[in-house]
């Protein structure tokens, strides 16, 4: 889990990963050190699976790589009008048989181990986004190259800021006099504070936009969206009450006149 700031500015994190790796004892061969796998006598170590099929247009042969050995062990099984094929039942498509299995991996050639992996988090990453770490996944089959590691990012919420794409969002309270008369207020951002002009007559829910103060850099950066919340006091001093009463007397008409009630 990243902090909000790490997601915005980028970071380098070290995570613990449990993955299948090439056995260090046998080097992935599955055979006990000092021994070698033997060529499979059933398929003679070949690396193709052949399918012979008969049709109205004649017969044809479809050749595919063995899914287990990637081109080593084979079995040809021609049965009249059509042919079924499968990896060699003796070597399971490897082309070789292990007579003396490695005592560490028990002949599998792989082991499950825990590793610390460094992951570079790019600036502006969002919650739920996947980051690809090339070559740090699980070991490939039969000594093949390792796969890739995909890290799903989780971002902790910020106590003040929210996010909408590349835009930062924040709700800022303003007093009734500031909203009615207008004011210049100071608003936090993820960089330096921003001085913002509140226009006279501002209502709750009005959103002001500060260009380029969101997520990203240069022309790619988002904006800071400031939503104003007009705070109405619940407890008034005598002086405040008199001031509000004077304002009420000076205010012409009713704001509900259009409702005709």
66 and 141 part of one domain? no
Which residues are bridge partners to 130 per DSSP? Answer: 152
Residue 208: name the closest of 218, 191, 230, 223 by CA.
223
The reply to whether 241 falls in a domain is yes
Percentage of the chain exceeding pLDDT 70 = 77
pLDDT digits (tens, 9 = 90+) for 233-246: 889 899 999 998 99
Q: What pLDDT was estimated at residue 43?
A: 66
Question: β-strands 58-65, 38-39: how paired?
Answer: unpaired
Are residues 191 and 240 located together in one domain of the fold? yes
Residues 93 and 197 in one domain: no
Shared domain for 137 and 227, answered yes or no, is: no
What pLDDT, on a 0 to 100 scale, did the predictor assign at position 73? 47
Looking at the structure, tell me whether residues 245 and 180 fall in a common domain.
yes
Q: Which of 233, 154, 158, 156 is nearest to 188 (CA)?
A: 158
Read off the pLDDT of residues 242-260 as tens digits, 9 standing for 90 and up: 998 998 888 888 888 888 7
157: in domain: no
* Residues 17 and 111 both lie in one domain: yes
CA distance 104 to 33: 10
Q: What is the pLDDT of residues 109-160, one digit of tens each?
A: 888 888 899 999 999 999 999 999 998 888 877 667 888 999 999 999 999 9
**What is the Cα–Cα distance from 182 to 176, expressed in whole angstroms?**
10
Please indicate, yes or no, whether residues 197 and 146 belong to a single structural domain of this protein.
no
Work out the mean pLDDT of the chain and round it to a whole number.
82
**For 166-199, what is each residue's pLDDT tens digit?**
999 999 999 999 999 999 999 999 989 999 999 9
Q: Per the structure, how many domains does the chain have?
A: 3
Q: What is the pLDDT of residue 106?
A: 85
What is the predicted pLDDT for the residue at 79?
46
Residue 203 within any structural domain of the chain: yes
Phi-psi region of 225 (alpha: psi -120 to 50; beta: other; left: phi over 0): beta
Residue with tokens 């209502």: 203
Domain containing 203: what range?
162-250
Does residue 20 sit in the same domain as residue 61? no
pLDDT in tens, 38-76: 777 666 666 544 555 556 565 555 545 544 444 444 444
Burial category of 91 from C-beta neighbours within 10 Å (exposed 0-12, middle 13-18, buried 19 and up): buried
134 plus 113 within the same structural domain: yes
Domain boundary among 71, 97, 123: 97
Tokens of 198: 């509140």
93 occurs within a structural domain? yes
Chain center to CA of 93: 36
User: Is position 213 within any domain?
Assistant: yes
Query: CB under 8 Å, gap of 24 or more: what pairs does 158-161 form?
Result: 158/4, 160/188, 161/4, 161/190
Q: Closest by alpha carbon to 24, among 133, 113, 118? A: 113
């Amino acid at each position: 889990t990243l902090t909000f700031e790490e997601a915005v500015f980028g970071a380098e994190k070290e995570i613990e990963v449990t993955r299948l790796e090439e056995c260090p004892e046998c080097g992935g061969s599955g055979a006990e050190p000092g021994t070698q796998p033997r060529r499979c006598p059933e398929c003679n170590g070949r690396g193709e699976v052949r399918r012979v099929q008969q049709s109205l247009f004649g017969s044809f042969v479809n050749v595919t790589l063995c899914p287990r050995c990637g081109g080593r062990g084979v079995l040809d099984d021609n049965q009249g009008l059509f042919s079924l094929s499968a990896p060699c039942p003796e070597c399971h498509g490897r082309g070789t048989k292990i007579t003396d299995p490695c005592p560490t991996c028990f002949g599998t050639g792989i082991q499950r181990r825990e590793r610390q992996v460094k992951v570079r988090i790019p600036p502006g990453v969002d919650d739920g986004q996947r980051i690809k770490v090339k070559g740090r996944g699980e070991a490939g089959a039969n000594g093949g190259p390792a796969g890739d590691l995909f890290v799903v990012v989780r971002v902790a919420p910020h106590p003040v800021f929210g996010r909408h794409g590349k835009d930062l969002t924040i709700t800022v309270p303003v007093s009734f006099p500031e909203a009615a008369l207008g004011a210049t207020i100071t608003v936090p951002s993820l960089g330096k504070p921003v001085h913002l002009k509140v226009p006279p007559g501002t209502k709750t829910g009005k959103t002001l936009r500060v260009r380029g103060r969101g997520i990203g850099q240069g022309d790619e950066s988002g904006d800071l969206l400031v939503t104003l919340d007009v705070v109405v006091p619940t407890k008034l001093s005598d002086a405040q009450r008199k001031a509000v009463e004077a304002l009420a007397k000076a205010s012409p008409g009713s704001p509900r006149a259009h409702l005709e009630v």
